[in-house]
Amino acid sequence: MSAANPHPRLLSRAMAAVLAAQFLSALADNALLFAAIALLKSQQAPDWLPPLLQESFVIAFVLLAPFVGPFADTLPKGRVMMLANGLKFAGSASMLAGLHPLLAYNLVGIGAAAYSPAKYGILSELVEPSQLVKANSLMEGSTIVAILSGAVLGGLLADRSVELALAAVTAAYLVAALANLLIPRLPPAHPLQRFAFAALLRDFWTALTTLLRHRDARFSLLGTSIFWGTGSTLRFLLVAWVPVALLVNDNGTPANLSGAVAVGIAFGAAAAARWVKLETVNRALPAGLLIGALILAFAQQASLAASYGLLLLIGACGGFFVVPLNALLQEHGHESVGSGHAIAVQNFFENLAMLSMIGIYVALSRAGLAAVEAADAFGATVLFCIGWLTWARLRPGR
């Protein structure tokens, strides 16, 4: 823990401010996605175009990865979060004003790329190392409640009026930026002496290779990347799967099903905080293996109730799997390359996985693969990837 940390308690005033700001920002992120999907539908866009929203969003994480970590570490992280939410506000307001959804959502993605290293990196500056799993659980719990609320709200408002949904999202980003002002100014973790493009690229490469050489950091990077690539692809798969499997054509049902995954993640995150510590992180592996198997079972459903139940289980396994891995990377990153650098490297890997998995899904969709068949292929891929990761983690002589 940083010696400058004035808040050793887990539920300090500073931590409450971080959680509140994160909730508002994540709620707006998820409401905006479903509002943007509804906007594209209203414009008669082809079925393969909505997944490109996520591609336009996450490309910023990949391209800006060498720079957002140092940016988060060289300024007080609360102020970084405020500036990032300001960019999200500008992107949402631009979409409301008529800018093409892909371009406007890309601007929101730039804000999110700057926001992520700060929101996670600040945790290691606010709490003791022994509290990091619990702090991550609180962060993930706040995020998941926001994902649930945002998805449901975005789908509900979009079914009434796309313009109303976009206006509500824009207002939420503004309030989130104001909430960031309540986070105290902590000393910068690793201030930059000067900005140099080539030097930052070398610095990022050094941080990346340092983390990949460390067994625990490498395990965390690969595991969280598989998880978030899975989650992002599943969200868009639901948009195509619901009309085919459940014969429902509104905006609300896919959003509500995504919310069920979010509820499950919250339960899984809480369970991880209770039963998993950094020293026992391998306990998360069985839950990771179950994610792919449950997706395969979900793909065959024709019942709305059974779909909700399976998605809850998928989310619970995901939360139990990803929260300890996040904490593992933050602890090692804080001690080695800096928490902001570590989260930037993590974002690079996670969003590269999202780009790849969603890109494969878009290619399959454009090729005419049915939604149920795509869900089967997706579940099998996830099961194979986490199975390989488990083998690599547990194999003798590793």
Say which CATH number the domain at 215 has.
Answer: 1.20.1250.20
Range of the domain at 337: 13-394
The three-class DSSP label of residue 271 is helix
Residues of the chain with pLDDT under 70: 1-10, 187-195, 334-335, 339-340, 396-398
Residue 7 lies in a domain: no
Q: How many domains does the chain contain in total?
A: 1
Residue 2 lies in a domain: no
Going by the DSSP 8-state scheme, the letter that residue 251 receives in this structure is S
Residue 4 lies in a domain: no
Do residues 72 and 117 touch, judged by C-beta distance below 8 A?
Answer: yes
Residue 208 lies in a domain: yes
Residue 348 lies in a domain: yes
Cα separation of 20 and 179, whole Å? 7
Cα separation of 226 and 236, whole Å? 16
Task: Please report the pLDDT score of residue 163 as a whole number.
Answer: 94
Neighbour count for residue 395 (Cβ, 10 Å): 8
What is the pTM (predicted TM-score) of this model?
0.76
Task: Please report the pLDDT score of residue 259 as a whole number.
Answer: 81
Cα separation of 272 and 266, whole Å? 10
Rounded to the nearest 10 degrees, the angle between the axes of helix 215-241 and helix 285-299 is: 20
Question: Which pair of structure tokens corresponds to residue 351?
Answer: 């969003």
Task: Please report the pLDDT score of residue 197 as a whole number.
Answer: 77
Q: Which amino acid is at 200?
A: L
Task: Please report the pLDDT score of residue 130 as a whole number.
Answer: 72
Residue 228 lies in a domain: yes
Neighbouring residues of 192: CB distance < 8 A, sequence distance ≥ 6:
70, 73, 74
Residue 34 lies in a domain: yes
Residue 188 lies in a domain: yes
pLDDT digits (tens, 9 = 90+) for 106-123: 999 999 988 877 887 777
- What string of DSSP letters covers 179-245? HGGGS--PPPSS--SS--HHHHHHHHHHHHHHHHHSHHHHHHHHHHHHHHHHHHHHHHHHHHHIIII
Question: Which pair of structure tokens corresponds to residue 190?
Answer: 């690793």
Task: Please report the pLDDT score of residue 4 as a whole number.
Answer: 45
